[in-house]
Chain A
């Protein structure tokens, strides 16, 4: 408004008319105008939009088979509706609670162990003054991030099998060998700690980056006041990276029910199934291997909805408590 008034006083007919038309433009005409000017940009991005529609939004349309009895010859649209039959079957099945318990168990265990360790490592690395040592440690701890899941699980098995290195060491000290890979009680611990081994270095990068932004004058002032290093970490560094911690906590906590398929599947075997079967591996088995498409789509949808609700909820609480949130 102010601008228009200013323009009116400073006798500039050309710009005045421009402003007038700008104000009366509808969204549609802006789009048309922008399209005429940047048609090549729209052309450029259109294959990517097409990709997202085909490979991400068409499957969302396909979710309806969770409420239908999918018949291949009839296709998604013409298969008959059956309501929530598949959901009821899943909720009533004897494996329902086992799947929930395992999925949630692995998710919470991972969150409790894998989440704080990178923060501690970043705080420790930040205190290292010897730059050669720091670089060496960083190079080493980032490396496992680039190994594939197959390689990490493969190594895990080689080390933990009955005649592997760990069991050799146990027998050397007079203990009895443990069947780590086939014993259900060991599954979650192995899953979580091999995850820590692989990701702790890489996950610490983001906190290290946040720590470089800490104002050095704060540290100097604290030192003059006689604060020890631990006190300075506690009262300066940790508050400084708190927003980063909260954002990452939201993301991690929101995904406790979305335990990834890849690693669990590789570590799974017929003997440890009671503690290793999670929703995603169950969907793979009943859907891809046994071709119960509608039923597994229902199980998958149940999981996606829970994940979505969790994310929204954790975000809501973070906003209330800490005023930091994703949106």
Chain B
């Protein structure tokens, strides 16, 4: 293998630019971590830019003393757990029949599902429906209207079709095994990788979403963490920018400054802990999906 000079130059710049891109992504994330442990005064004066300065855990104490944040955290945990459970069950219930070649009408049913990807009723008719169903400000509005995603049905159906041997299912059928039993005893145990991917996809979606809550929830006790975060991180800051800053306000600002960084960390904690383990599953799931269904 011969390496010409131009290839060496190319290689150098390739590594160089990729390293810069990685740094551009890493630094803001790192800064937030560092800032959450620092004394807020140093953040506002710009003295803290790499290592935590004036190390302390006050910000975290404030986060856990804040009832809104704790309540939001618990709510999000509930929505994510139940929502994901419903999502995964519904996805399996749709994907398995659609994966069977002897399931007559599967193309029509698939078309009914896929059409909703390209056209929908829009926000207002959906809102009126949810209101008529009496779901506003209930627990159910957070888990039912988004009970299943078409794209995930396609991923799972493709997995069933390509990885579960058809002969295995046929022989079980000959032995007198019903469809549901084939699904539970044969197909699902072989589908754990894709189920893991689904759990992760849906759970991340629930954990991160705020739109549903913004539209359908008005009772603060039901707010998920993301809406609480919005109040603290976005609404508060913007109000500050629009209003003129007074001296006493500056003091108050100092006390919440650290909290903002800490709450960013806390809200992403589950993800940060799981991310290194989950990453390969996510990528795998993405690959399964990209084998066009």
Q: Which residues of A contact B (CB under 8 A)?
A: 30-31, 33-35, 37-38, 40-42, 44-45, 47-49, 51-52, 54-63, 65, 70, 76, 121, 124-125, 127-128, 130, 133, 136-137, 139-144, 146-151, 153-155, 157-159, 161-163, 165, 168-169, 172, 179, 181-182, 197, 200-201, 205-206, 209, 223, 228-230, 261-262, 266, 269-271, 280, 283-284, 287-288, 293, 296-297, 300-301, 303-304, 308, 311
Residue of B nearest to A244 (CB): B290
Distance (Å) between the CB of A156 and the closest chain B CB? 9
Task: Indicate whether B139 reaches chain A with its CB closer than 8 angstroms.
Answer: no
In terms of DSSP, what is the predominant structure of the interface of chain B? Answer: helix
Q: What separation, in Å, do the CA atoms of A209 and B289 have in the docked complex?
A: 11
Task: Indicate whether B211 reaches chain A with its CB closer than 8 angstroms.
Answer: yes
Within 8 A of A (CB), among B199-233: 204, 207-211, 215, 226, 229-230, 233
Task: Indicate whether B49 reaches chain A with its CB closer than 8 angstroms.
Answer: yes
Please indicate the chain A residues that have their CB under 8 angstroms from the CB of B166 in the complex: none
Q: What separation, in Å, do the CA atoms of A209 and B120 have in the docked complex?
A: 31
Q: What separation, in Å, do the CA atoms of A65 and B287 have in the docked complex?
A: 41
Instruction: Say yes or no: A51 contacts B283, CB within 8 Å.
Output: no
- With A60-B121, A168-B46, A284-B123 known as contacts, the answer to whether A41 contacts B275 (CB < 8 A) is no
Within 8 A of A (CB), among B149-165: 153
Instruction: Say yes or no: B25 contacts A143, CB within 8 Å.
Output: yes
Instruction: Say yes or no: A150 contacts B120, CB within 8 Å.
Output: no
Of the candidates A140, A151, A229, A271, the one whose C-beta lies within 8 Å of that of B264 is A151
Q: What separation, in Å, do the CA atoms of A33 and B15 have in the docked complex?
A: 62
Q: What separation, in Å, do the CA atoms of A296 and B128 have in the docked complex?
A: 12
Instruction: Say yes or no: A197 contacts B264, CB within 8 Å.
Output: no
- With A143-B275, A270-B242 known as contacts, the answer to whether A205 contacts B124 (CB < 8 A) is no
Q: What separation, in Å, do the CA atoms of A150 and B31 have in the docked complex?
A: 17
Within 8 A of A (CB), among B19-33: 19, 21-22, 24-26, 28-29, 31-32
Q: What separation, in Å, do the CA atoms of A133 and B15 have in the docked complex?
A: 9
Of the candidates A48, A133, A157, A205, the one whose C-beta lies within 8 Å of that of B286 is A205
Of the candidates A56, A140, A280, the one whose C-beta lies within 8 Å of that of B116 is A56
- With A147-B208, A266-B234 known as contacts, the answer to whether A60 contacts B242 (CB < 8 A) is no
Q: What separation, in Å, do the CA atoms of A60 and B26 have in the docked complex?
A: 44
Task: Indicate whether B249 reaches chain A with its CB closer than 8 angstroms.
Answer: no
Q: What separation, in Å, do the CA atoms of A188 and B194 have in the docked complex?
A: 38
Please indicate the chain A residues that have their CB under 8 angstroms from the CB of B189 in the complex: none
Of the candidates B1, B242, B287, the one whose C-beta lies within 8 Å of that of A271 is B242
- Ranked nearest first, the 9 interchain pairs of A and B with the lowest CB-CB distance are A59-B121, A62-B125, A154-B233, A148-B208, A34-B104, A300-B122, A168-B46, A59-B125, A48-B94
Distance (Å) between the CB of B266 and the closest chain A CB? 11
Q: Mark B4-39, 1 if CB is under 8 A from A, else 0.
A: 101100110011011101101110110110000000
Please indicate the chain A residues that have their CB under 8 angstroms from the CB of B180 in the complex: 40, 44
Residue of A nearest to B210 (CB): A150
Q: A137-B21, A144-B29 are in contact. List 6 more A-B contacts (CB 8 A).
A: A35-B104, A49-B112, A60-B125, A140-B22, A142-B283, A228-B7
Task: Indicate whether B174 reaches chain A with its CB closer than 8 angstroms.
Answer: no
Within 8 A of A (CB), among B232-284: 233-234, 237-238, 240-242, 260-261, 264, 267-268, 271, 275-276, 279, 282-283
Of the candidates B24, B120, B207, the one whose C-beta lies within 8 Å of that of A197 is B24
Please indicate the chain B residues that have their CB under 8 angstroms from the CB of A158 in the complex: 32, 233, 237, 260-261
Instruction: Say yes or no: A150 contacts B14, CB within 8 Å.
Output: no
Task: Indicate whether B102 reaches chain A with its CB closer than 8 angstroms.
Answer: yes
Residue of B nearest to A35 (CB): B104
